[in-house]
């Protein structure tokens, strides 16, 4: 079995905005607190075998510090990057005008044509029906979903490969008498993913088989900063009559925890 923890990064230093591709730094004090919480947790939980994170600083900074502190292999995955919000990405909400209002020319935007697209009405349309209203120059919700879920499938497949390789090594050691009891065979492989709220919602919707296109899923499911969601992945017992079980068996994926806060209890 594989336990995969999905951890959202802490709050960032910028004003409230849609931060997707914008590489904004996390609040250092909160990052330090979360790191301390994760390191302290080693005393009562098994260690992580891998850390996988988004390439953006608000995720990667914590991943690098934790990997170094606990000597855990780290992989940076571009598929875990937050959704690209196009012209609205990184623009503070209080600087977005209502329809028909002049946009503040002091903002560092590329040209007047793009400025004219930055209105609350465009943003509100996206919030109400994100699958049907793509923001200017932004990633579509469908493309975002496809990127994240394809990355998830690759991630799970790699972890299953690693589990099988480790099990084979342990069994070989037992046969040769170099290992008395292969206790690690019954120990779940644990993986930590440090990513973004939108990415975590997409993965949860995929496993729970819920409609990721609905605005309510993105608006009503709160994935707090520094919160942890846990997924368990396992394979069914093989069918003796199945000549090609690797092609016909489906993985069992179960959501165990959603958005458990870590910082509030530390």
pLDDT tens digit sequence for 77-94: 999 999 999 999 999 999
Cα 94 off chain centre by? 27
Query: Does 188 lie in the same domain as 99?
Result: no
Q: Given a cut of 50, is residue 97 above it in pLDDT?
A: yes
- 39 in any annotated domain: yes
Query: Does 34 lie in the same domain as 11?
Result: yes
Query: Does 215 lie in the same domain as 99?
Result: no
The model carries a pTM of: 0.86
Q: Given a cut of 70, is residue 109 above it in pLDDT?
A: no
pLDDT in tens, 142-157: 999 999 999 999 999 9
Query: Does 130 lie in the same domain as 157?
Result: no
Query: Does 190 lie in the same domain as 147?
Result: yes
pLDDT band (50, 70, 90) for residue 235: confident
Query: Does 181 lie in the same domain as 131?
Result: no
Measured CA to CA, the distance from residue 73 to residue 50 in angstroms comes to: 5
Exposure of 125 in the CB half-sphere (CA atoms within 13 A): 13
Residue where a domain stops, chosen among 121, 138, 155: 138
Q: Given a cut of 60, is residue 101 above it in pLDDT?
A: no
How many domains, the chain?
2
- Which segment of 152-156, 178-182, 238-242 scores lowest on mean pLDDT? 238-242
- 175 in any annotated domain: yes
Find the CATH number of the domain harbouring 151: 3.40.50.1240
Averaged pLDDT for residues 48-58: 97
Query: Does 157 lie in the same domain as 124?
Result: no
Full residue range of the structural domain in which residue 49 is found = 2-84+140-261
Averaged pLDDT for residues 114-134: 88
Query: Does 187 lie in the same domain as 72?
Result: yes
- 122 in any annotated domain: yes
pLDDT band (50, 70, 90) for residue 165: confident
Q: Given a cut of 60, is residue 38 above it in pLDDT?
A: yes
**How much is the pLDDT for 108?**
47
**How much is the pLDDT for 175?**
62
- 99 in any annotated domain: yes
Query: Does 129 lie in the same domain as 11?
Result: no
Residue where a domain stops, chosen among 112, 138, 164: 138
Query: Does 149 lie in the same domain as 36?
Result: yes
Query: Does 221 lie in the same domain as 146?
Result: yes
Measured CA to CA, the distance from residue 200 to residue 182 in angstroms comes to: 34
Q: Which of 189, 201, 226 is nearest to 38 (CA)?
A: 226
Residue where a domain stops, chosen among 73, 105, 138: 138
- 266 in any annotated domain: no
Q: Given a cut of 80, is residue 261 above it in pLDDT?
A: yes
- Give the whole-number percent of the chain exceeding pLDDT 70: 80
Query: Does 257 lie in the same domain as 133?
Result: no
Q: Given a cut of 70, is residue 183 above it in pLDDT?
A: no
**How much is the pLDDT for 264?**
73
Q: Given a cut of 80, is residue 247 above it in pLDDT?
A: no
């Amino acid at each position: 079995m594989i336990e995969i923890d999905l951890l959202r990064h802490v709050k960032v230093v910028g004003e409230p905005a849609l931060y997707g591709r914008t590489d904004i730094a996390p609040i250092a004090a909160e990052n330090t607190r979360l790191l301390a919480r994760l390191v302290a947790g080693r005393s009562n939980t098994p260690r992580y075998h891998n850390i996988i994170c988004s390439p953006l600083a608000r995720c990667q900074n914590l991943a690098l510090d934790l990997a170094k502190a606990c000597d855990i292999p780290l992989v940076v995955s571009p598929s875990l990057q937050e959704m690209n919000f196009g012209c609205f990405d990184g623009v503070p909400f209080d600087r977005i005008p209502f329809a028909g209002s002049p946009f503040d020319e002091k903002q560092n935007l590329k040209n007047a044509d793009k400025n004219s697209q930055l209105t609350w009405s465009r943003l509100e349309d996206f919030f109400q029906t994100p699958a049907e209203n793509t923001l200017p120059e932004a990633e579509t919700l469908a493309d975002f979903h496809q990127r994240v879920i394809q990355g998830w499938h690759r991630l799970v497949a790699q972890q299953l490969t690693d589990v099988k390789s480790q099990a084979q090594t342990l069994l070989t050691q037992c046969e040769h008498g170099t290992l008395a009891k292969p206790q690690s065979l019954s120990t779940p492989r644990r993986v930590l993913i440090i990513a973004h709220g939108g990415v975590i919602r997409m993965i949860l919707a995929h496993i729970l088989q819920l409609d990721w296109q609905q605005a309510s899923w993105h608006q009503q499911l709160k994935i707090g900063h520094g919160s942890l969601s846990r997924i368990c992945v396992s394979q069914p017992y093989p069918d003796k009559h199945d000549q090609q079980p690797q092609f016909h068996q489906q993985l069992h994926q179960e959501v165990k925890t959603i958005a458990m806060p870590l910082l509030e209890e530390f």
